[in-house]
Amino acid sequence: MKIEKIKESRINTVDFKNLDFGGVFTDHMYSCDFIDGKWINSEITPYKPITVSPASRVFHYGQACFEGMKAFKDNNDKTWLFRPIDNYERIIKSSKRLAMPEFPKDLFFNALHNLLKIDADWIKPGFGNSLYIRPFIFASEGSINATEAKEYKFMIICAPASSYYSGEVRVKIEKSFSRAAKGGIGYAKAAGNYAAQFYPTILAKNEGYQQIIWTDSSTHEYIEEAGTMNLFFRIGNKLITAPTSDSILDGITRKSLIQIAKDENIDVEIRPLLVSELIDAANNGSLFEIFGSGTAVVVLPILGFGYENNKYELPIKENSWANLLKNKLNNIQYNISKDPYGWTIEV
């Protein structure tokens, strides 16, 4: 791998206390090209704009997918990646669905390792601070023939992160628009899955919500996931989350929380949840918590939701399961408590 280091770091120009999620990037980036059936030009360079043909299929047909992963700094200045193998496996699954070539595992981990070593100072210690890592792959071949491309670019860029949302989050249960249909690309981290939510989310924002909860595309009766996260519902003494499917993303934070919750003796039910069941629970007082999970948001308590013309508020709980699970997860991610699951990998 070729490595070209920046002459002067930009780190001193960054206000790490007031980071806007995803707006500031570290000094370096990784890129690699797929040309003539081979991955070549594997290199780390200073973070900079790239040049591609305006006919690149990514711009016309959206042939692109990505991952979201995080690195954490512990109190001894060591850097830890959280479940990176799961991210690698998921980008391979997404690539396959979008007819893109597999990026080799050794190149992926070599690139990550080198990039995080070079930009290690950008990862700040302390709960809430992390480095958000964005691997992505897109069709770079300059042709607008509507078939899969023959050339691709794989890249990794990194953004220092604190919280994803700065304020309270309320969500609207979406009944008209759909995120994903059976047999579609909902399970893949396809770029277009996220673009498709922007418009319905703008409409929801106009009504005072920060995000939407997707329901199934055929009946709109079952809860699926939210715009940037999977969802958990504490109803009675159970923690309920929808099963992953071809329309729901197999969230890595989601499956980590399920594991931790089970080990905390929380009764976890992975099953389809009807919107009507949620409304009944809200009305009869048995809905105690809703929270989202995702790499970017980690664990995010949801303070209220809207359905049709009704708004529901959730009681703020001192001893919430959201807090309990978030703390347990953070302790593992920041190497504060022992990782009994083998999820963390030191860089």
Residues that bind ligand COI (CB under 6 A): 68, 194, 228, 294-296
If the CB atoms of residues 56 and 197 are measured against ligand COI, the closer one turns out to be 197
**Shortest CB 341 distance to ligand COI, Å:** 20
**Shortest CB 252 distance to ligand COI, Å:** 9
Instruction: Using alpha carbons, select from 154, 165, 131, 159 the residue that is nearest to residue 65.
Output: 154
**Shortest CB 87 distance to ligand COI, Å:** 9
**Shortest CB 231 distance to ligand COI, Å:** 13
**Shortest CB 295 distance to ligand COI, Å:** 3
Q: How many CB atoms lie within 10 A of CB 2?
A: 8
Q: Which residue is nearest to ligand COI (CB)?
A: 68
Quick check: 228 and 169 in contact, CB under 8 A?
Answer: no
What gap in Å lies between CA 332 and CA 271, rounded to an integer?
27
**Shortest CB 228 distance to ligand COI, Å:** 4
Would you say the C-alpha torsion 142, 148, 151, 155 has a positive or negative sign? positive
**Shortest CB 192 distance to ligand COI, Å:** 12
What gap in Å lies between CA 224 and CA 292, rounded to an integer?
12
| Residue 147: burial class (beta carbons within 10 Å; 0-12, 13-18, 19+) | exposed
If the CB atoms of residues 268 and 296 are measured against ligand COI, the closer one turns out to be 296
If the CB atoms of residues 68 and 160 are measured against ligand COI, the closer one turns out to be 68
If the CB atoms of residues 127 and 312 are measured against ligand COI, the closer one turns out to be 127
If the CB atoms of residues 186 and 235 are measured against ligand COI, the closer one turns out to be 186
Residue 339, Cα to own-chain centre: how many angstroms?
21
| HSE-CB for 298 with a 13 A CA cutoff | 28
If the CB atoms of residues 68 and 200 are measured against ligand COI, the closer one turns out to be 68
**Shortest CB 51 distance to ligand COI, Å:** 25
What gap in Å lies between CA 79 and CA 212, rounded to an integer?
34
If the CB atoms of residues 165 and 288 are measured against ligand COI, the closer one turns out to be 165
**Terminus-to-terminus CA distance in the chain, angstroms?**
17
Quick check: 223 and 282 in contact, CB under 8 A?
Answer: no
If the CB atoms of residues 63 and 228 are measured against ligand COI, the closer one turns out to be 228
The enclosing H or E element of 173 equals strand 170-173
Instruction: Using alpha carbons, select from 306, 187, 301 the residue that is nearest to residue 242.
Output: 187
The enclosing H or E element of 234 equals strand 230-235
Which of the 8 DSSP states describes residue 150? S
